[in-house]
Amino acid sequence: MSRPRPLSGFPEFTPEQRIVEQHVLDRLRETFELHGFASIETRAVEPLDRLAKQGEIDKEVYVVRRLHADERSADELGLHFDLTVPFARYVLENAHALAFPFRRYQIQKVWRGERPQEGRYREFTQADIDIVDTGTLAAHHDVELPLVTLGALERLHVDLGIPPVLMRVNNRRLAQGFYRGLDIDDPAEVLRQVDKIDKIGPDRVVQTLVEQVGLSRAQADACVALAGIASADESFVDAVRALGVRSEELDAGIELLADVVRTAQRYVPGRLVADLKIARGLDYYTGTVYETELVGYEGWGSVSSGGRYESLASDGRTTYPGVGLSIGVTRLLVPLLSRGLIGASRPVPTVVLVAVDSEDARPDSIEVAELLRARGISCEVAPKADKYGKQIRFADRRRIPYVWFPGSGESGEVKDIRTGEQLPADPRRWAPAEEDLRPVVALQP
């Protein structure tokens, strides 16, 4: 068989990189559960008409078909391109069994047929949290979600050494209220153009708003001036007021955004700013919107984003509004791993290699290993009864810190191969140093 060609856009991790990913996923899961979010998992496929928006699909969807399917059923299913669409369907199908407001987290693979490049992959893992209610959703959840997400990302920073983040927050009601105060008829189109300001610059946005959207130069300048306001405290309120625009919707949006900023200052200082150019181009966002970058690596783009939507799903009688945030786990990790910026202390969970004196004595080594495992100590038995020097080198290549040499009965000696220290040990009582018990994930020097 010839050597297989790699498929671009489908990242596969080495065992050491996978340990890093598992540490990240564990901490996200633990943080979400500390805040009362319940885990769900949805199927990988959805009907194409559900993946479509108003009959059109704006993502490159992978179509799923059976090898021997007939033409009529060939293109009915597609792999989900995010976790929001399947979650909306899940809420509708299971509303009778859910307690609202429903707090859910979901960590799964998603698929998009995009052109592969750093930060954009065809298969990747997302970690989503949402709070959904029936009819109306309390405004304080717009404040709660960024605190949970920032808490999870801060834990990755403190525990694993992943760079810190900065979340940028805006409110669609603030922006739309401002545009309506300027007598702009199509606020949604203005939002779509303002969302491009980081890519094409403010001058090009002004030009587009005038030439394509039909705004006056004064209206376009005011929209871009609003987008230029940013602050880590409530001073953004005075900056908006100074532009001289008034509307009830603008007032409501300012109050909601100020509440988010004020609470973040108290609980996650330095991790959130009001940034009025954040628009999030998706039409279904109706309130607070969020985008998050790694500090020092802003060029990598957003690693977490989301917002409030007034209608996640509707069955014609009940509407389910919600607010959600998504962390792009693969988007966050692949650049760090590929550059060697983060790694694990060893590529295996094993903390002890139990040596084998001879194949006849292998049962003694297995007995020692079972006693250690019963006490939560990860170990493996040497694959060959080589000279002890070769078994030590085998452990060293895998960065296993300890080698156990069985003695008479169940006693023996354990050697720390990093320091050379070797001491008598009993598998019923011996334990490694706490920091050696599991692989340690950290920034690399």
Domains of the chain, earliest start first? 15-343 (3.30.930.10), 352-443 (3.40.50.800)
The answer to whether 331 and 303 have CB atoms below 8 angstroms apart is: yes
For residue 197, give the nearest of 175, 174, 165 by alpha carbon.
Answer: 175
Strands in 352-354's sheet, in edge-to-edge order, are 379-381, 352-354, 402-406, 412-416, 422-425
- Indicate if the pLDDT at residue 54 is higher than 60: no
Q: What is the pLDDT of residues 428-437, one digit of tens each?
A: 999 999 999 9
Interatomic CA distance for residues 261 and 236, integer angstroms: 10
Strand partners, 79: 45
Interatomic CA distance for residues 65 and 61, integer angstroms: 13
**Taking the chain, what is the end-to-end CA distance rounded to the nearest angstrom?**
40
Could you identify the residue written with the tokens 């409110």? 171
- Indicate if the pLDDT at residue 67 is higher than 90: no
What band does 304 get if pLDDT is binned at 50, 70 and 90? very high
Q: In one letter, which amino acid is 445?
A: P
56 secondary structure, DSSP code: B
Q: What is the pLDDT of residues 132-161, one digit of tens each?
A: 999 999 999 999 999 999 999 999 999 999
Token digits of residue 267 = 């609980």
Interatomic CA distance for residues 331 and 352, integer angstroms: 34
Token digits of residue 406 = 């069985």
Cα distances from 339 to residues 286, 334, 342, 440, 444, in angstroms, run: 38, 8, 8, 18, 10
pLDDT of residue 37: 98
Residues 376, 381, 384: CA angle, nearest 5 degrees: 170
Interatomic CA distance for residues 355 and 385, integer angstroms: 7
Cis peptide preceding 101, ω within 30 of 0: yes
For residue 117, give the nearest of 9, 6, 5 by alpha carbon.
Answer: 9
Token digits of residue 174 = 């603030």
- Indicate if the pLDDT at residue 58 is higher than 80: no
Q: What is the pLDDT of residues 86-136, one digit of tens each?
A: 999 999 999 999 999 999 999 999 999 878 777 789 999 999 999 999 999
Q: What is the pLDDT of residues 370-427, one digit of tens each?
A: 999 999 999 999 999 999 999 999 999 999 999 999 986 667 999 999 999 999 999 9
SS3 category, 255: helix
Token digits of residue 12 = 């596969």
pLDDT of residue 409: 62
Interatomic CA distance for residues 60 and 80, integer angstroms: 10
Token digits of residue 41 = 């998992």
Report the predicted TM-score, pTM, of the whole model to 2 decimal places.
0.91
pLDDT above 90 coverage of the chain, percent: 79
Cα distances from 364 to residues 368, 376, 432, in angstroms, run: 6, 19, 20
